[in-house]
Structure 1
Amino acid sequence: MPRVICAGHVNWDITLRVDRLPEVDGEAAIQHQTGAGGGSAANVAVALAGLRVPVSLLGSVGDDEHGRAARRELTGTGVDCDPLQTVSDGKTAVKYLVVDGAGEVMVLGQTGVNEAFQSGHLPGATLSEADVLHLTSQRPETAARLAERASEAGVTVSFDPGRRLGQRDYSSTLALADVVFLNDREAATALDECTDHGAETIVLKHGPRGAEVRASEETFTHPGFAVETVDTTGAGDAFAAGFLASRVRGDGYDEALAVANACGALAARSAGARIDVSWTAVSELVGH
């Protein structure tokens, strides 16, 4: 069965649901507070496991309560955490997600050790057994070296750089990526760069307006699914997981976009960065 490796951030998320996002010098009322695992790489890995795709996770956590809880949660969902590093003298990254009634999110972060892992922490045997290496926001040098190793091993390189794309030099990784995911904000500043670097497939996430794939000289589109938005946290990660899960089982771009949009919609209508995604839930939205 096809296997995916996810590499990137593993966090502990503290979600604060508020009546509204405050203005500068303003105040909002906290209505509900929860704690759970998060981080883009971890979120994609959990969603892939829910879609029955064998998945391994490369990242790093501290040897603390949050790190142990994150590892337990990931292992419990079926994610292979053997490559996940524990830093004995470091703290697990904590993200504070402030979510308003419309599902819009503001993020406050304590970085911790979520970028302490290195390319060498991914065993060669694990990489050689994979079909896809999915990279998320991480140190550019680590991402580039992982992409190099994957390319040398004949493993497809998927890259979702996230909000740090405009702040970090990911040109070396983009030059090796086979698939690149961008949302509208990221595409506005980096689409030309991705095209110039020759990414084979560019997946554009338009949120509630669906998504499109630009592959070679062809474009594929899907309008998305209308759902009541509760929390957009992790919706992009769920989208990427759905797209990859569909592609590794042999689906074309039209089907992969439908599955990806379904997973993103399932995440948007649920609270928190993690969802219990399944092919059954996806099929109910897709209609088959």
Structure 2
Amino acid sequence: MSRVVCAGHVNWDVTLHVDDLPDPDGEAAITHQSQAGGGSASNTATALAGLGIDVSLLGSVGDDQYATLARDELDSVGVDCSALKSVSGETTVKYIVVDEDGEVFVFANEGVNEAYDADDLAEETLAAADRLHLTSQDPSTAADLAKRARKRSIPVSFDPGRRLDTRAYDDLIREVDLLFLNEREADAVESLLETREFPTVIKRGNGGATVRSPDGRITHEGFDVDASDTAGAGDAFAAGYLASVLRGRSVRDALADANACGALAVQSPGARVDLSLSAVERYRRDH
């Protein structure tokens, strides 16, 4: 069975759905609230596990109750946490506010979700991987991990997320064999994308997604869905795409599977969605 190593943030998310975003000194009603694990690496790892892919997670948590909750949740879905580092300090907690249109606003404490480095990933864990998937993290750590993977001819994918415009990811953007960006991110680094020799997957939310490569473009128009919570949708999309590629499916099918995963995610509260191969196949069949 294929194995992926996901590296990046492991958080605890507190999600509040509100009926409106208040003006200063105003007030809004909370219509739903929940707590669960979060962080792009953690989200992608759990989605991959649900899709039947063996997955290991490299990241760091603190020594508090949120670390225990995060570990227990990851263990329960079959994510290998042997590379998850525990350090003294606070696990990163993110407070996610979701408005009535499904748009997401994030507030976070600094936490310890970057208190690991490339050497915390055991050589035998990396050697057993069919892919290394990097998400938002310290650029030097990401670069070191990518260098180790390339020495073993292990493919590297990267989904930089919200911090793309504030961190020095240029070399990774040029070099990784598979890059995931949304439209805003792609516009911000268009000059770098023009120099890439490898595929870039551009996510357009309800508008589907496109794979750009030197050989041309392949597009899937996505699914018409009313989003109730967009948190974690990009991570679910990446997991769906990676799982399909690892199973040898075509780029078109991988895009369709990824869009189905994203569609399922935006209809679920919080950054986590209960994915399975049967759920993805059923969604594609019914839509």
- Into which bin does the TM-score normalised by the smaller protein fall? over 0.9
Counterpart of 1:71 in structure 2 is 71
SS at match of 1:155: coil
Partners of 1:195 and 1:86 lie apart in 2 by 40
Taking only the aligned residue pairs, the percentage that are identical comes to: 56
What does residue range 2-81 of structure 1 map to in structure 2 within 5 Å? 2-81=2-81
Counterpart of 2:205 in structure 1 is 207
Partners of 1:44 and 1:75 lie apart in 2 by 14
After superposition, what is the alpha-carbon deviation per residue over 1:52-94, rounded to whole angstroms, capped at 9, x for unaligned? Answer: 000000000001100011000001001000000001x211000
Tell me, which stretches of 5 or more residues in structure 2 are unaligned?
A: none
Q: Does 1:252 align with 2:250?
A: yes
Question: What amino acid sits opposite 2:15 in the alignment?
Answer: T
Q: Does 1:265 align with 2:266?
A: no
SS at match of 2:67: helix
- What is the CA distance between 1:132 and its match in structure 2? 0.7
- What is the CA distance between 1:25 and its match in structure 2? 4.8
Partners of 1:39 and 1:175 lie apart in 2 by 24
What does residue range 79-98 of structure 1 map to in structure 2 within 5 Å? 79-87=79-87, 89-98=88-97
- What is the CA distance between 1:191 and its match in structure 2? 2.7
- What is the CA distance between 1:217 and its match in structure 2? 2.1
Q: Is the 8 A contact 1:151 1:176 kept in 2?
A: no
Counterpart of 2:217 in structure 1 is 219
- Consecutive aligned runs of 4 or more in structure 1 exceeding 6 Å deviation: none
TM-score for the superposition, normalised by structure 2: 0.97
Counterpart of 1:118 in structure 2 is 117
Counterpart of 2:155 in structure 1 is 156
Partners of 1:275 and 1:24 lie apart in 2 by 33
Q: Does 1:282 align with 2:280?
A: yes
Partners of 2:81 and 2:260 lie apart in 1 by 27
- What is the CA distance between 1:215 and its match in structure 2? 2.0
SS at match of 2:212: strand
Partners of 1:7 and 1:199 lie apart in 2 by 23
Q: Is the 8 A contact 2:174 2:192 kept in 1?
A: no
Partners of 2:126 and 2:166 lie apart in 1 by 28
Partners of 1:129 and 1:191 lie apart in 2 by 34
Give the number of equivalent residue pairs: 286
Q: Is the 8 A contact 1:96 1:109 kept in 2?
A: yes
Question: What amino acid sits opposite 1:222 in the alignment?
Answer: H
Question: What amino acid sits opposite 2:134 in the alignment?
Answer: L
Partners of 1:145 and 1:21 lie apart in 2 by 41
Question: What amino acid sits opposite 2:33 in the alignment?
Answer: Q
After superposition, what is the alpha-carbon deviation per residue over 1:32-51, rounded to whole angstroms, capped at 9, x for unaligned? Answer: 22111000000000000000
- What is the CA distance between 1:207 and its match in structure 2? 0.3
Counterpart of 1:189 in structure 2 is 188
Partners of 1:180 and 1:260 lie apart in 2 by 14
What CA RMSD, in Å, does the superposition of the two structures yield over aligned residues?
1.2
- What is the CA distance between 1:175 and its match in structure 2? 3.1
Partners of 2:55 and 2:184 lie apart in 1 by 29
Partners of 2:197 and 2:42 lie apart in 1 by 24
Partners of 1:49 and 1:96 lie apart in 2 by 25
Counterpart of 1:146 in structure 2 is 145
Partners of 1:195 and 1:143 lie apart in 2 by 22
